[in-house]
Amino acid sequence: MASCLDDIRCMVWVNCTINAVCGSIAYKDMYWPEQQMKTNVKIPDGPIPLIDFFDVPEEGELVNMVDGVFPFYNRPDVSYMFIAGSDDQCAAAKRSAREAEILLNRAEHPDFEIAYYEEAGHMLEPPYSPHCSVLFQPGPTFDIALKCGGELIAHCKAQEHCWHKQLSFLKTRLQ
């Protein structure tokens, strides 16, 4: 929503994509179509890695898909922090963070940070939260258990580190 709302001053983006996934998004006269799922994939029993079921553009392609990418990079008045777990099995978080960096650099954005956490999965929660390796995604599209990824110890260390990083980022930008 940092692309849409005037009063946003900073934003922390944890393990997300820079385009609409699992549903289109509309706000006033703006619209972002959802990324299409692969139609030829049979969903197996048990938890699935969601990322395997989307036609994820090749690295570098997303930055050129103007209609499908949120135009956050056009807001030089908003500070951004992107956090990505390298073993996120729900979203192409690491790739999206790299592509966000490309877009922000291309726009000569004055204030952003990007942090990558090796072996961290999707659910980067506050410190000391239990590692969530599987979550249930209800709804008409899925209604299925999803693998989140992440190696237990590395993921928990990432949760603790990135939480303090987020608090510091927000504190300095919102004062």
Q: Please give the backbone phi and psi of residue 100, each rounded to the nearest 5 degrees, phi first.
A: -60, -40
Q: Is 1 part of any domain?
A: no
Q: What is the pTM of this model?
A: 0.86
Q: Is 88 part of any domain?
A: yes
Region 20-43: mean pLDDT is 76
For the chain, what is the domain count? 1
Q: Is 77 part of any domain?
A: yes
**Residue 4 class from Cβ within 10 Å (0-12 exposed, 13-18 middle, 19+ buried)?**
middle
Element (H, E) at 14: strand 10-14
CA atoms within 13 A on the CB side of 33: 7
Burial 133-169 (b: 16+ CB within 10 A, else e): beeeeeeeebebebbbbbbeebbbebbebbbebbeeb
**CA 163/CA 25 separation, integer angstroms:** 28
Q: Tell me the per-residue pLDDT of 81-131, one tens digit each, with 9 for 90 and over.
A: 999 999 999 888 898 899 899 999 999 999 999 999 999 999 999 999 999
Residue span of the structural domain in which 120 resides: 10-174
Q: Is 96 part of any domain?
A: yes
Q: Is 118 part of any domain?
A: yes
Q: What is the CATH classification number for the domain harbouring 116? A: 3.40.50.1820
Q: Please give the backbone phi and psi of residue 27, each rounded to the nearest 5 degrees, phi first.
A: -145, 115
Q: Is 55 part of any domain?
A: yes
Q: Is 5 part of any domain?
A: no
| Angle, CA of 100, 69 and 143, to the nearest 5° | 105
Q: Is 93 part of any domain?
A: yes
- How confident is the model at residue 39, as a pLDDT? 62
Q: Tell me the per-residue pLDDT of 150-164, one tens digit each, with 9 for 90 and over.
A: 999 999 999 999 999
Contact assessment for residue 73 and residue 106, using Cβ atoms and an 8 Å cutoff: yes
Which band of pLDDT confidence, cut at 50, 70 and 90, is reported for residue 46? confident
What's CA 94's distance to the chain center, in Å?
8
